[in-house]
Amino acid sequence: MFNIKHQYHELKQVRDCLPETEAIIHVDFSENYKGKLPEEIQTMHFGGNRRQISLHTVVVQLKDKTKSYCTVSGNTHHGAGAIWAHMQPILEAVKTENPMVTAIHFVSDGPSTQYRSKNNFFMFHR
């Protein structure tokens, strides 16, 4: 409970004192979703041949505005490579729309296989 309260307090403090040269990016994978057709043959009805999509949701907070993004992919992997494939267009949009941003605070639910992986640091450095 202490960790949760402390993290919430620190995030609130960063958000309240956010300078124009910094941004907060809150990221999370949504569930994988299965497509459904209005009329399906029996094998589709039981889900054996349904394709899945993965949604990666992002909220970017700047000093004066907040913007939401969602990227969609047919690839349902959630490893470091997939995260950076989803993050690349978001980071490009932040850089294009707000060239003054020089620092980004990342916030996530913290799964070690996704956002806190050593592979993420390697991908970020590239």
Q: Return per-residue pLDDT of the chain as tens, 126 residues.
A: 888 788 889 888 988 999 999 999 888 766 677 766 666 565 555 656 667 788 888 899 998 899 999 888 877 777 777 778 888 899 899 999 889 999 988 887 765 445 555 555 444 544
Q: In the chain, how many domains are there?
A: 1
- The pLDDT score that the predictor gives to residue 18 is 92
Facing residues of 69 across strands?
Answer: 58
Kind and range of the H or E element at 104? strand 103-107
Residue 36, helix vs strand vs coil? coil
The CATH number linked to 24 is: 3.30.420
- The pLDDT score that the predictor gives to residue 117 is 52
b/e per residue 67-94 (b: at least 16 CB within 10 A) = eebeeeeeeeebebebbbbbbeebbeeb
pTM listed for this prediction = 0.71
Domain extent for 96? 2-125
Q: What is the residue whose two structure tokens read 């969609």?
A: 72
